[in-house]
Amino acid sequence: MKNQTLEAMIWVCIYAGLFVLGIGVWFSRHHLAAGVTLLCLGGALVAAGVLLIWLRSRRPS
């Protein structure tokens, strides 16, 4: 995988995760189980993005 592709995946994971977290916060007021599920999914996406940032920092340019 090229570094440019990895960088695109990083930003997609982070922004999608933050979006899903926001939806989860809003949705938890209406349906708690679905809101918590969305919060967990969004948190996992953000964590994956952070992990990919760390992986990218260890790769050569």
pLDDT of residue 61: 78
Q: What are 8-48's pLDDT values in tens digits?
A: 999 999 999 999 999 999 999 999 999 999 999 999 999 99
> How many Å apart are CA 36 and CA 28, to the nearest integer?
6
pTM metric for this prediction: 0.89
Does residue 1 carry a pLDDT above 90? no
Alpha helices in 29-60 (DSSP H): 32-58
What stretch of H or E contains 1? none
pLDDT of residue 35: 95
Residue type, 30: H
pLDDT of residue 41: 98
> How many Å apart are CA 42 and CA 13, to the nearest integer?
9
